[in-house]
């Protein structure tokens, strides 16, 4: 899609007050991947880690996030154009959409920032923007003033400029194999900040509500059983007394209360990562369904090694990793693939050594 460059509309923030920030980062999937492939993918490691491109991008996000004029911090999205030498330009997409900026205006803003950061030599008359649909990858867990956030990264598109314009292409930033960019292309990334505390609370509430519903259903079933047994006993007494004309003194022994002890199944689940109640709920659900996963987990200690996540090269479904242990051995890792409601299937991850 060809777009004519026009001067973008600028929205200025009215929020300009000092703000004390205490922040710390924990490496996520993406940063761990870069360190693990330091020697096999040297260019990728150099441009993201050695040139401190990722560190600078996180600083930009932190600055814009803490100085954001909007009070809602549950989810913010920032667009980044980054060159391999460390230059970068950023745009608060959430704030722009709040002001109902058009996509053309947002794109023109990014193009204008490329000139400022010398990514392109001068403003184009026209350019092409191609969107990309790609799964996001976790970059880091951000602890900000005792609130936990997770930062994700994903490529969202790339600009293509005509030949007369000199372009510092950022093709070396590509961390996924199937996309091929030309020398006149500039890749755009989205960095997303999400409040994970609210999500954990919501997942815990959903799991608690589901467990409460199961408990109520069991209570109703037991109540119906008690009523059914008592009604049968009264019917038998009435049938025996119906044919007798003389008054009969009834000696009815008190009916012992029917106690049906529910079979409580407690799985031995130990989290080697951050506790996630959704994983516990899914494991119990699969165990009660008595399928293949039930046979796998039977009489085993379940060690949850990784939280629900995508692989570096994203797959259709998210997964979490577990190991199964008994008194003598511990298995290799299993990946349990999930959607929003259930565990779909599992795979075994084998380690092969030369």
Report the percent of the chain where pLDDT is more than 90: 4
For the chain, give the mean pLDDT: 77
pLDDT(160) > 70: yes
State the pLDDT confidence band at 299, using cuts at 50, 70 and 90: confident
Taking only the tens place, the pLDDT of each residue in 252-284 is 444 444 444 444 567 888 898 888 888 988 998
3-state SS, 98-156, equals HCCCCHHHHHHHHHHHHHHCCCECCCCCEEEEEECCCCCEEEEEEEECCEEEEEEEEEE
Taking only the tens place, the pLDDT of each residue in 55-68 is 888 888 888 888 77
Taking only the tens place, the pLDDT of each residue in 226-240 is 566 666 666 666 665
State the pLDDT confidence band at 322, using cuts at 50, 70 and 90: very high
State the pLDDT confidence band at 132, using cuts at 50, 70 and 90: confident
pLDDT(90) > 60: yes
State the pLDDT confidence band at 304, using cuts at 50, 70 and 90: very high
Report the percent of the chain where pLDDT is more than 70: 70
Stronger pLDDT, 231 or 193, i.e. the higher one: 193
Separation in Å, CA 70 to CA 24, 62, 97, 196: 22, 14, 12, 18
Stronger pLDDT, 160 or 22, i.e. the higher one: 160
Residue 113 CA from chain centroid, whole number = 31
State the pLDDT confidence band at 161, using cuts at 50, 70 and 90: very high
Structure tokens at 287: 């165990």
Q: What is the pLDDT of residue 20?
A: 64
pLDDT(44) > 70: yes
State the pLDDT confidence band at 215, using cuts at 50, 70 and 90: low
Q: What is the pLDDT of residue 261?
A: 43
Residue 4's nearest CA partner among 104, 101, 106 is 104
Structure tokens at 303: 């060690």
């Amino acid at each position: 899609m060809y777009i004519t460059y026009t001067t973008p509309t600028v929205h200025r923030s009215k929020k300009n007050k000092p703000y004390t920030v205490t922040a710390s980062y924990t490496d996520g999937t993406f940063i761990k991947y870069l360190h693990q492939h330091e020697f096999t993918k040297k260019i990728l490691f150099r441009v993201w880690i050695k040139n401190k491109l990722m560190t600078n991008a996180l600083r930009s996000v932190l600055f814009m996030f803490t100085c954001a004029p909007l009070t809602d911090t549950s989810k913010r999205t920032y667009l980044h154009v980054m060159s391999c030498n460390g230059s970068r330009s950023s745009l608060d997409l959430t704030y722009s959409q709040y002001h109902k900026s058009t996509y053309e205006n947002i794109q023109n803003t990014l193009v204008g920032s490329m000139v400022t950061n010398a990514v392109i030599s001068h403003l184009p008359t026209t350019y092409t923007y191609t969107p990309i649909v790609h799964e996001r990858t976790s970059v880091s867990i951000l602890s900000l003033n005792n609130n936990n956030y997770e930062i994700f990264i994903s490529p969202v598109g790339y600009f293509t400029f005509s030949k007369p314009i000199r372009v510092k292409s950022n093709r070396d930033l590509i961390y996924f194999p199937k996309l091929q960019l030309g020398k006149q292309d500039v890749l755009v990334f989205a960095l997303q900040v999400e409040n994970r505390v609210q999500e954990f609370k919501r997942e815990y509430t959903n799991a608690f509500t589901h467990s409460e519903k199961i408990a109520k259903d069991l209570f109703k079933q037991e109540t119906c059983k008690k009523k059914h047994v008592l009604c049968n006993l009264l019917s038998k007494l009435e049938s025996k007394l119906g044919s007798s004309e003389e008054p009969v003194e009834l000696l009815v022994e008190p009916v012992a209360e029917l106690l049906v002890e529910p079979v409580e199944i407690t799985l031995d689940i130990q989290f080697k990562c951050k506790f996630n109640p959704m994983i516990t709920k899914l494991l119990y659900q699969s165990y009660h369904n008595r399928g293949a996963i039930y046979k796998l987990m039977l009489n085993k200690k379940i060690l949850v090694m990784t939280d629900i996540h995508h692989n570096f090269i994203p797959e259709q479904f998210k997964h979490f990793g577990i190991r199964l242990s008994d008194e003598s051995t511990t298995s290799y890792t299993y990946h349990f693939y999930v959607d929003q409601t259930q565990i779909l299937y599992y795979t075994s991850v084998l380690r092969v050594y030369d």
